[in-house]
A and B are shown apart, each in its own frame.
Chain A
C-alpha cells in the first residue's frame, strides 16, 4: 500500500513537471475555462434579453393608432426603433437584420373599428432568430389583444358598467403563470448552468486523451509503466490525479460563481452541486480513458471522438431542444453523454431541490461511467509494452 502511494506521488510529480513545460496545458486547463466563465456570464448578464429592436408600419396614422404605438413602446422587450412608410420597407429592414419584427396597421383601421367592420392588425416576427422572434411575438400579440379589448371596454363603459364589471366580461379567465424557481425567465440561469459544465466536460475529455496520448507520442510510456510498478491502474491514476484536482477546483469555482455571486437558484445547497461536479469530472475522465483504451495507440482518433462526443453532448443533453421530442434512437443514445445526466441531476437538485432518488437512473448512469476504464485496462497493459505512436 505504502509502495503504491509512493509510486503515485512519483507519477504525480512527473506529471506536474510535464505541465510546467507546456503552455498549452495552462491554456486549456485554466485560461480557457475561466475565459468561458467570464464570457458567458457577462454575455447574459441581463438575464432576459430586453429592448429588442422592432419596427412599425402605420398606414392609418390616427390618434387611436398612436395609442397602440405608445403601448408597444412601453413594453419591456420591445424597442420601437423605426417607422416605415410601407410593408416592403419594413421587410427589407428585417432582411438587413435591423429589426426582429414589426407591427402593421392598415389604412382605415380606426374607421373600420368604430364602424364595427372588424379590421385586421398584423404583426410579423423574424423566427429565423428564434429567441428574439419569440420574445417579440409575446409583446406584439399582447398589444393586439389590448387594442381589441380596449375597444369593447369603451362600449361597456358607455353602457354604464364599472371597471370591475367590464373586466369580468372582457377577460373572464386570467392565466396566472408561475415559472417555478426561475420566476424572471432568466436565460443566464437556464443556459449557463449547462453550457459551462458542458464546455468543462469537453475540455476534461480532451485533456485526458491528450495527456495519456502524449506518453506514446513522446515514447515515454515504458518509463511511466516502470514507475507505476507495472500496473496500468496506478499509472493512469497517478497521471490523471493532478487534472482531477484541477478540474474539480474549476467546477467548485463555477459553482461558487453561479450560486454565491450570481445568485442562481440553488435549492439543494451548494455542497451537493460541488459533489455532482466532482463526479462529473471523474466521469468525463473515465470516458476519456475508455475512448483512448478502445482505440489504443491512436491518440488522434480518440481526440476526434472526444471532440465529437463533447460537442454533440450540447445537443443531446436536451436542455435546449428536449430529448423526448427527438427520434427514439437518439433518445437511447443520449444515455451515453455525461452532460445529459448532469443536466437531469442539476434540474432535480439545484433548480427544483427534490430528493435525488427521483433521478436515480441518471445518478447510477453517471457512476457507471466511472467503471468504464475497467473494461479497457487489459488493452492498456498490452499497449504499454507493445504499441508505438502512429501519426
Chain B
C-alpha cells in the first residue's frame, strides 16, 4: 500500500512534467497549426541553459532560471521566424520534417557542448530543490516531486486565466479558430504566431527545469519529452485540459506499470496507450472529431 501511494505521488509528478510539455506542444498546435517535433529538444535546451547559467557562469538560481527561460523564448522566436513562418502554407509533413531538422541541429550543438565539458553522455544537474525527503507517516517523497506538482498546477492555472481573460489570450484563441477571420478582425496574426512559439518554448524550458533534477542532464531527456505526444493524443489533440489530464494519466499509468507489469512495459506503456487510443478513439478524451473536406 505504501508503495502504491508513493508510486502515485511519483507518477503524478512525472505526469505533471508530461502535462507541462504537452501543454506547450498543444498550445503551439492550437494557435499555429504547427506540430513541433523539436519540442523535446527545446526542453533539453532549456535545462542546458540553466546549467550554463548556474555552473558555467556561476549565477544564483533565481537569476539563472528566469534568464534561461527568456533565452528559450528567444530561441522559440528565431525558430518561428526562420523555419515555421516560411512554411506556413505547407502541409503537415513538411512542418514535421522541418522541426525534426531543428531537433537535429539542437542535438548536435548540445553534443558539442557535452564534449567541450568533457563529461561523456550526461552531466549532474545543479541542486535547485532541497534534498531533504518529506515524510508523511510511512511515505517518503522527494521534494522535487512536490515542487513539480506545485509549479505545474500554478502554471496550468495561469495559462487557463491567460487564455480566458487577456487580450493576447483571446487573440490566440481567435487565431486558432480561423486564421483568416482573425486577421480580418484586426488580430495581428504574425505576432500571435511569434508569441505562441515563445510561450511554448518557455514552457518547454520550465519542464526541462523540473525533469533534469530527476534524470541526469543529457540529450536523451528529449525522448522523455516526446512522451508528451501520447499524453496530448490521449487528452484529445488540440484540447488544453485534455493535454494536462492526458499527461497525468500517462505518468500514473507508467508508474503503476513499473510495479505490476513485467520488465520492459514501463518504457513503452505510453506508446501502448497511444496505439489503443488511436485505434479506438482517435479524438481522445476531449478532442472534437475532425471532418474530412474535399
Are A and B interaction partners?
no
